[in-house]
Amino acid sequence: MSTFIQTVIVGLRLGSVYALIALGYTMVYGIIRLINFAHGDFIMVGGYTIIFTVPLALALGLPAWAAVLAAIAVCALVGMGTEIIAYRPVRKKGTNMSALITAIAMSLFLENLAQAIPAIGPNPKVADQMFTAGGFRIGSVTFEYTTVITIVISAVIMVVLYMFTQKTRLGRAMRCVSEDKAAATLMGINVNHTIILTFAIGSALAAVAALMYMAQYPRIYTTLGSDLGIKAFVSAVLGGIGIIPGAVLGGFVVGLFESFTTSYISSSLSDAVVFLILIVVLLLKPAGIMGKNVGEKV
Amino acid sequence: MKNNKTAQGILLNTIVIVVLFALFQALTAAFGGAGSFKLVLVPSLWQCCYLILLAASLNLVLGFLGQLSLGHCGFMAIGAYTAALLSLACERAGVFTDKSGAVYILIIFACILAAGLLAAVTGLLVGIPALRLKGDYLAIITLGFGMIIVNVINNLPFCGQDGLAQGSAAASLYKTGLGFGSKAKVTYLWIALLVTVLCVTLMFMFVRSKYGRAIRAIRDDEIAASASGINVSSYKVLTFTYSAFFAGVAGALYACATSSLSTASFAFTNAGILNSTFVVVMVVLGGMGSLTGSIVAAVIMFFVNYQIANGSWVAALPPFLNGVFKYPMLVYAVVLIVVIIFRPRGIFGTYEFSLINLAGDIRRARVRRAEAKAERKEAKAHA
């Protein structure tokens, strides 16, 4: 029984990291209908920023996790830069396909650029301890502080984000643009600014996800982004891409499945299982768990 | 009249291919034993052959059908492992001993065919669920497939180390019945060339047939195509399967050209050039919707990559650029973005190079350029 509960907790912890990343995918997909393959690499950017700014944070007398503030800023800038330099020109001229290929190219570019920068290089880097070590026990189940903090912070961020999109003017503008760009323009919404804002928020979430990930696995490497990103993307599709609560649900489903596969079957099969679920869900309910089937306009 | 021209075209192409081949055989006879011919040119040709097949077969899906597939090297992996293990089984069963003779050649062809067929069956299994969905799902599912297949091969005991009954689960397979050395590569080069020409011909026949017209209609407007009575999903699955077949054949040629197989070579991206992303780069560069463009792009990209890896001029560059060239995928990512932004149709667009139409094409291009020039002049005069 205690193994079971422990597995559930690990699943929730993994799931909350996936959910944070999936939110970034789903927000961008919702607004410009593009799978932002580079989103995974924003996590990598955030991770390295944290590693390089932790000494600075410690020197200022702040806790190590304060480095995430710098990471959030850097990631938001990288996200906005990607949109302005690469995605917008292609979106204006090209088809959906060329935008998708640009996204893949952007992802490759970030990954390989990181490897080519001498300070980063292809070898993994080890991160410092992010949160206080230790934990507490309830019965025979151990709750690590890191796990608790990860789950709580993710939950808070998700609620805040949901409130933002539902209640504020900017959030309403975002939903408006994702529904109909032309109508949004007519209502006086600056579509380009809204898209850039979406990229900034999504990338900032990737930075937080990087912190959560490093608190658990203090090792970071340049292809980390694609590994995490693909699973997070699967989460977004599972929940119904473009739907914010769907991404959260999908993240937890993928996290739980992964943790159960790892502890009850085999850790080397967890990737295959994740994709198997994706294929099954897409066959049974192509729009995702929370998605609605929308008829196609002619 | 039109049939007459087609027949002339086929005749002309056949003659040119035969002449080129004869010329090449003469060259082989003259220089076959010499160093750089045997050690550089022939292995390069082998590589070009499977890169051409990979690029052209992905173009069927990416350029003609308009769907993004990111796991093309997964099918190549299936082909490569099938060919390697099948030939190894024949060798262990004692069908051939010294990798020569008529029986061996027969086995090579059987391996190539089996590799293609197994890849096609896998393509069918992946394509049926993936292609029933609209949108970008094929990209994700094929990406996942590319990762899963590497995962599965790593875990299969007969696909690792010494292979078959003597094998154990590992990322590399060291024993294959193919894996030509540099001498065998010269001897059997005609097989690679023949298979490549044959496969490219089959792909041309496909895109020019009624199936090719149907899939181009799907690419341009799916709803209109299905309203005109085209069964969209079955045509999609057909094209995907057909494309997977040739990726499998490319894999078999790869198995012939390398002494050991490693799953890392078939990943989504890696440090070398053999990965699914590189194939996408070749197709986009050559032009989505032009098979001849893919062929040209495959040769160009091979050459560029060879130069980056081996060229003496790279060492002479300033250290910063030199460091960049250690990561060729960085260069290709930039190339891909620049091509997509400034020339989204690639080098060839949808133009197909053909010998019999060459004179006409050049004439038409010249007329078009003159017209464009006149138009610009007129616009300037008005302004």
Distance, CA of B242 to CA of B55 (rounded, Å): 14
Query: Which residues on A lie below 8 Å from B324 (Cβ)?
Result: 116
Average pLDDT, chain A: 86
- How far apart are the CA of B322 and the nearest CA of chain A, in angstroms? 10
Residue to test with chain A: of B148, B155, B321, most A Cβ within 10 A: B148
Write a three-state SS string for chain B.
Answer: CHHHHHHHHHHHHHHHHHHHHHHHHHHHHHHCCCHHHHHHHHHHHHHHHHHHHHHHHHHHHHHHCCCCCCCHHHHHHHHHHHHHHHHHHHHHHCCCCCCCCHHHHHHHHHHHHHHHHHHHHHHHHHHHHHHCCCCCHHHHHHHHHHHHHHHHHHHCHHHCECCHHHCCCCCEECCCCCCCCHHHHHHCHHHHHHHHHHHHHHHHHHHHCHHHHHHHHHHHCHHHHHHCCCCHHHHHHHHHHHHHHHHHHHHHHHHHHCCCEEHHHHCCCCCCCCCHHHHHHHHHHHCCCCHHHHHHHHHHHHHHHHHHHHCHHHHCCCHHHHHHHCCHHHHHHHHHHHHHHHCCCCCCCCCCCCCCCHHHHHHHHHHHHHHHHHHHHHHHHHC
Average pLDDT over every residue of A285-296: 71
B49 dihedral zone (left: phi>0; alpha: psi -120 to 50; beta) = alpha
pLDDT for residue A83: 93
Q: B95-100 long-range CB contacts below 8 Å, 24 or more apart?
A: B96/B177, B99/B177, B99/B180, B99/B184, B100/B187
Nearest by Cα to B149 from B122, B129, B177: B122
Q: How far is B49 from chain A (nearest CA, A)?
A: 25
B261 strand-pairing partners: B173
Average pLDDT over residues A170-176: 91
Q: From chain A, pick out residues whose CB is under 8 angstroms from the CB of B350.
A: none
- Tens digit of pLDDT for each residue in A259-281? 998 888 877 777 778 878 887 88
Asked if the Cβ–Cβ distance from A112 to B66 is below 8 Å, we say: no
Q: How far apart are CA A174 and CA A190, in angstroms?
A: 10
Nearest residue on chain A to B341, judged by CA atoms?
A90
User: What do you get for the CA distance between the two ends of chain B, in Å?
Assistant: 47
Scanning every residue of chain B, which has its alpha carbon at the shortest distance from the alpha carbon of A105?
B333
| Residues B297 and B346: beta-carbon distance below 8 Å | yes
CB-based contacts of A96: which residues, under 8 Å, 6+ apart? A33, A34, B136
Residue of A nearest to B148 (CA): A272
Residues 204-263 of A with CB under 8 A from B: 223, 226, 230, 233-234, 237
CB contact under 8 A, B137 and A282: yes
Alpha-carbon gap, residue B86 to A122, rounded angstroms = 37
Nearest to A271 among B147, B280, B341 (CB): B147
pLDDT of B249 reads 96
Model pLDDT, residue B205: 92
Place A295 in a pLDDT band, splitting at 50, 70 and 90.
low
Residue whose entry in the numeric block shows the structure tokens 């020409």: B197
Using beta carbons and an 8 Å cutoff, which residues of B are at the interface with A?
62, 66, 68, 70, 129-130, 132-134, 136-137, 139-141, 143-145, 147-148, 151-152, 154-155, 223, 268-269, 277, 280, 284, 288, 323-324, 326-327, 329-330, 332-334, 336-337, 340-341, 344
- pLDDT at res. A297: 52
Which residue of B145, B334, B340 is in closest CB contact with A98?
Answer: B340
List of chain A residues whose C-beta atoms are within 8 Å of the C-beta of residue B154: 268
Cβ–Cβ pairs < 8 A, chains A and B:
117
Inter-chain touch B140–A112, beta carbons under 8 Å = no
Q: What's the pLDDT at B313?
A: 76
| Alpha-carbon gap, residue A202 to A22, rounded angstroms | 9
Q: Does A44 touch chain B (CB under 8 A)?
A: no
Chain A: give the shortest CA distance to residue B143, in Å: 9
Q: What is the pLDDT of residues A17-46, one digit of tens each?
A: 999 999 999 889 888 888 888 998 999 999
DSSP A127: P
8 Å CB contact between A227 and A102: no
Nearest to A252 by CA among A144, A143, A142, A158: A158
Amino acid (one-letter) located at B58: L
Find chain A residues with C-beta within 8 A of B341's C-beta.
86, 89-90, 93, 102
Q: What's the mean pLDDT in A198-214? A: 92
Distance separating alpha carbons of residues A222 and A243, to the nearest angstrom: 29
A104 contacts on B by Cβ (under 8 Å) = 70, 277, 280, 336
Lowest mean per-residue pLDDT among A227-231, A238-242, B245-249, B325-329:
B325-329
Q: Which residues of B touch A286 (CB under 8 A)?
A: 132-133, 137
Cβ neighbours of A90 in B, within 8 Å: 340-341, 344
Q: Could you give the C-alpha distances from B197 to B53, B203, B295, in angstroms and in order?
A: 9, 10, 11
Q: Is A105 at the interface with chain B, CB within 8 A? A: yes
- A89 interface with B at CB cutoff 8 Å: yes
pLDDT at B273: 62
| Residues of A in Cβ contact (< 8 Å) with B326 | 116
Q: What is the pLDDT of residue B269?
A: 66
Q: Quote ipTM for the complex.
A: 0.80
Q: CB of A82 within 8 Å of any CB in chain B?
A: no
Would the CB atoms of A105 and B344 count as touching at under 8 Å?
A: no
Q: Do A35 and B140 touch (CB under 8 A)?
A: yes
In terms of pLDDT, which residue wins out, B76 or A140? B76
**Could A102 and B337 be called an inter-chain contact, meaning their C-beta atoms sit closer than 8 Å?**
yes
pLDDT at B270 (0 to 100): 65
> Pick from A86, A89, A97: which is nearest to B68 by CB?
A97
Which of B64, B317, B327, B343 to probe by mutation at the A interface, max A CB count within 10 Å? B327
Residue A18's pLDDT is what? 92
Q: Kindly give the confidence (pLDDT) of every residue in chain B, 383 residues in length, as a single tens digit, with 9 standing for 90 and above.
A: 456 777 888 888 888 888 888 888 887 777 766 677 777 888 888 989 999 999 999 999 999 998 888 889 899 999 999 999 999 888 888 887 777 788 889 999 999 999 999 999 999 998 888 887 766 778 878 887 887 888 888 888 888 778 777 877 777 888 887 888 878 888 888 899 999 999 999 999 999 999 999 999 998 888 899 999 999 989 999 999 999 999 999 999 999 988 888 887 877 666 566 678 888 888 988 888 899 999 999 999 888 888 887 777 777 777 777 777 777 788 888 888 888 888 877 888 778 887 777 778 888 888 888 888 888 888 888 87
Is residue A94 over pLDDT 90? no
Residue pair B293/B286 in contact by the 8 Å Cβ criterion: yes
